[in-house]
Amino acid sequence: MTASARHTVLALLAKRTADATICPSEVARAMTGSEEPWRDAMPMVHAAVDALLGEGQLKLSWKGAVLTERNGPYRIGRK
């Protein structure tokens, strides 16, 4: 399911403008739809974000400040 989270992160970002960000919960909601509780998907979303960040494919931020690692609340953007 982490592969699905990875795909969903990249697909959602591709639909946005280059400087737009997405919320991790948006990824989880897109993965689960309305049938399953989206919070159950959050560990997979975090794992996918960590992997993509490690590969240099993403940048993370919170309230305009750049984050070097996922810690606490964050937004996901394109590198």
Nearest-5° angle of CA 64, CA 76, CA 45? 145
Name 71's bridge partners.
none
Give which of 74, 62, 58 is closest to 12, Cα–Cα.
58
Residue-level pLDDT, tens digit, the chain, 79 residues: 678 999 999 999 999 999 999 999 999 999 998 677 999 999 999 999 999 999 999 999 999 999 999 999 999 999 9
What CATH number does residue 19 fall under?
Answer: 1.10.10.10
Backbone angles phi, psi at 63, to 5 degrees: 50, 40
Number of domains within the chain? 1
Dihedral (CA of 17, 22, 28, 34) sign: negative
pTM: 0.91
Q: Which domain holds residue 16?
A: 2-78
